[in-house]
Amino acid sequence: MEETGLLEKNPITRKYKVGLKLFEIGSLYPIDLNIRRITNPHALALAKMFETNVHLGILSKTFPPSLVVIDRVINLQSKDTVRRISFNIPLHSSAMGKVFLAFLEKKISNSILQNIKLDRYTPSTITDKRVLEKELKLIKSQGYAMDKGETHSNLYCISSPIKDKNGIVAAISVSDMRQKIEKNKDEMIKNIIKTADFISYQLGN
C-alpha cells in the first residue's frame, strides 16, 4: 500500500498515515457515483456474456493525468496479472487511456500528450508520438481502442468511450488473456460500443 501511495511512512517514527492517493480517490467518489450506478448493470452483462473482466475508468485529477479504475467486474478464472487493478494506469499503453486521448477536446489531448512520458512497458508499447497520434485518429473514427499487450504482455483490452452532453467522462473496457480477446474480438467490439453508447444516452448525451 505504501508503494501505491495509499499509505505514507514517517521515516523517524516509522508509523504510517493515510497517503495522498486516498485523498485523490476520495475526491473522485461524489463525481463518479452516478456513473458507477448506471454502468454497473451493463458491466455485469458484458462480463457474463463473454466470461471476462470489465472495467470502468476515469481520468485522475492530477496533471498530466493517468487512468483511475473506479469499478470492475472480475472473472475469477483469469490469471492474477489480468485481475490486477492500478490507480495510475498509463494513458498511452492502455485501451481506456487511448480512448480518453482520442475523444477529449483536441486542445486538452494535445496538452496531455506534450506532458506525458511514453514509457515502454512491453515490446508492443507505442513510444513514438507520431505513431500514437495516428492510432488516436483511427480510434476516434472507429469508436473503440485496443491494448494488445502494451502494458502487460499477456493482457489484451478493448475499450469504448462513455459521454455526457459535455463530452467523454469515462471509458469502459473488457480485458482478458490474448487468446480469449482475439477469439471473440468482433463480438466484443460490437457489444462494448453498443453498451457505451447506451450508457452515454442514459447520461444525457
Which domain CATH number covers 173? 3.30.450.40
Domain assignment present for residue 94? The answer is: yes
Q: What confidence score (pLDDT) does residue 148 get?
A: 96
Look at strands 67-73 and 167-177 and give their pairing.
unpaired
Examine residue 161 and say whether the peptide bond preceding it is cis (omega within 30 degrees of 0).
no
DSSP symbols for 60-92? -SSSS--EEEEEEE--TTS-HHHH---SSB-ST
Q: What confidence score (pLDDT) does residue 77 get?
A: 61
Residues written for the chain: 205
Domain assignment present for residue 171? The answer is: yes
Retrieve residue 182's grid coordinates: 482475439
Domain count across the chain: 1
Domain assignment present for residue 13? The answer is: no
The tens digit of pLDDT for each residue in 66-112 reads 898 888 888 766 554 444 445 578 999 999 999 999 999 999 999 99
Look at strands 145-148 and 53-59 and give their pairing.
unpaired
Q: What confidence score (pLDDT) does residue 13 get?
A: 58
Work out the pLDDT band at 36, boundaries 50, 70, 90.
confident
Phi, psi of 167, deg, nearest 5: 125, -165
**CA distance linking residue 142 with residue 190, whole number of Å:** 11
Closest by CA position to 172, among listed 47, 29, 11: 47
**In contact, 24 and 61? CB cutoff 8 Å:** yes
Averaged pLDDT of the chain:
84
Domain assignment present for residue 74? The answer is: yes
Rg (CA), the chain: 17
Q: Which of 5-19, 73-87, 109-123 has the lowest mean pLDDT?
A: 5-19
Hey, how many other C-beta atoms are within 10 angstroms of the C-beta on 142?
A: 13
Domain assignment present for residue 71? The answer is: yes
Domain assignment present for residue 5? The answer is: no
Domain assignment present for residue 11? The answer is: no
Retrieve residue 136's grid coordinates: 488516436
Look at strands 167-177 and 145-148 and give their pairing.
unpaired
Question: For residue 197, is it left (φ>0), alpha (ψ between -120 and 50) or beta?
Answer: alpha
**CA distance linking residue 171 with residue 25, whole number of Å:** 17
pTM over 0.85, yes/no: no
The tens digit of pLDDT for each residue in 131-164 reads 999 999 999 999 999 999 999 998 999 999 999 9
Residue-range definition of the domain harbouring residue 96: 32-202
Q: Which residues pair with 162 in a beta bridge?
A: 170
- Checking if the pLDDT of 179 tops 60, the result is yes
Domain assignment present for residue 194? The answer is: yes
- Checking if the pLDDT of 31 tops 70, the result is no
